[in-house]
Amino acid sequence: MLAVVVASKDPLEIISESIALVERFPGQCGIEFGLCESFDLPENIVERVAALPVSAKALHADRNAIGLEGLSSGNVEAVARVQAEARICKALAIDRAVVHSRVQVDRRPHDESNPRASARVWAVGALCMANAGLTPLYEKTVESLNWFEEFFDEWDRLGLAPQTGFTLDIGHARVWQRTSLEHWLQFTQQLQARGFELHFHVHGNNGEADQHRALHLAWEEGLLAPSADYAPRGVLPWLGEAMAAHPNALFTLENVAHLGPQAFRYTRNALAHATDKEAASNSLEPLCVE
């Protein structure tokens, strides 16, 4: 299902509006929460999030403090932060968390390193999160598809499939180590067959910067149109196919929180009208973006 994103730093009215969207569209809309700056959430917000289905919720672990590398090395700040976020997530009834490889993401390709060696080392960090009650969903940033294929093959060999997962950020896939979304979808389906959990971040960009453009704005700017080396059939037709292939995954519309309702309504309606899988994404009208 589609999901909207909020963070504890966002104004309470925006957080409440996003929760209301999930409450209004059960089974169609979920939420991804970031505890970026504060754990001091009002009791009514905690109660409303806790009441949402577990399958409709995820955490984005604090990327300024938590990374698989730091957790694996026993970094005191990272371990303490995971434990603190896990305690709040227990109250929110959230049991999975998107996590980056490093706190400060290295913008150089990881292909020069050994993905299998990294997988063995970072398994420690993944198990640290799992033991705290959060399934770690390792997010693709600068790494290539080939890198991830070897990495997750090693995690599968180590028996981590039931306890871990993968987050495909389709915007990152356009900016760093560009590979067709069609190939990424084949990879996510292979991971699903192996028992890994899948999660997605969806936003538009121009391929030059990590813009995190809401899809209704990305449509207006032509960023969802077919692209031979990225989305041959367009982003929206690919998204519809990916959602059908991964019915239990959250597809978080990862844009600024106040645009969440508009992005959700646009994407929901655009997908509903995209009956032709080969339709060019730029032929879809930006419906219902009030």
- The angle, 0 to 180 degrees and rounded to 10, between the axes of the packed helices 76-92 and 43-51 is 70
**Whole-number pLDDT of residue 189:** 98
Short-list 65, 79, 58, CA closest to 36 = 65
Number of domains in the chain: 1
Q: Give the tens place of pLDDT for each residue, 229-270.
A: 999 999 999 999 999 999 999 999 999 999 999 999 999 999
Residues 6+ apart with CB under 8 A from 155: 119, 123, 126, 161, 164, 196
What is d(CA 31, CA 56) in angstroms, rounded to the nearest whole number?
A: 6
* % of the chain residues with pLDDT over 90: 81
pLDDT at 29 > cutoff 80: yes
Give 275: exposed, middle or buried? Use CB within 10 Å, 0-12, 13-18, 19+. exposed
**Domain interval for residue 160:** 2-201
pLDDT at 288 > cutoff 90: no
Residue 40 lies in a domain: yes
Q: Hey, what amino acid is at 136?
A: P
Please report which helix (H) or strand (E) contains residue 3, including its range.
strand 2-7
**Whole-number pLDDT of residue 283:** 40
Q: Which two tokens stand for residue 110?
A: 């990881």
Residue 268 lies in a domain: no
Short-list 195, 197, 173, CA closest to 184 = 173
Residue 290 lies in a domain: no
Pairing of strands 2-7, 251-253: parallel
What is d(CA 205, CA 223) in angstroms, rounded to the nearest whole number?
A: 6
Residue 161 lies in a domain: yes
**Whole-number pLDDT of residue 40:** 83
Residue 255 lies in a domain: no
Name which of 18-22, 172-176, 201-205 the model is least confident about: 172-176
Residue 185 lies in a domain: yes
Half-sphere exposure for 193 (CA within 13 Å, toward CB): 8
**Whole-number pLDDT of residue 207:** 84
Distance of alpha carbon 112 from the chain centroid: 25
CATH code for position 46: 3.20.20.150
Residue 107 lies in a domain: yes
Higher-confidence residue: 176 or 71? 71
pLDDT at 43 > cutoff 90: yes
What is d(CA 285, CA 270) in angstroms, rounded to the nearest whole number?
A: 7
Residue 209 lies in a domain: no
Give me the mean pLDDT over the 11-28 stretch. Answer: 96
Q: Which two tokens stand for residue 195?
A: 């028992």
Q: How confident is the model at residue 36 (pLDDT cuts 50, 70, 90)?
A: confident
What is d(CA 189, CA 169) in angstroms, rounded to the nearest whole number?
A: 15
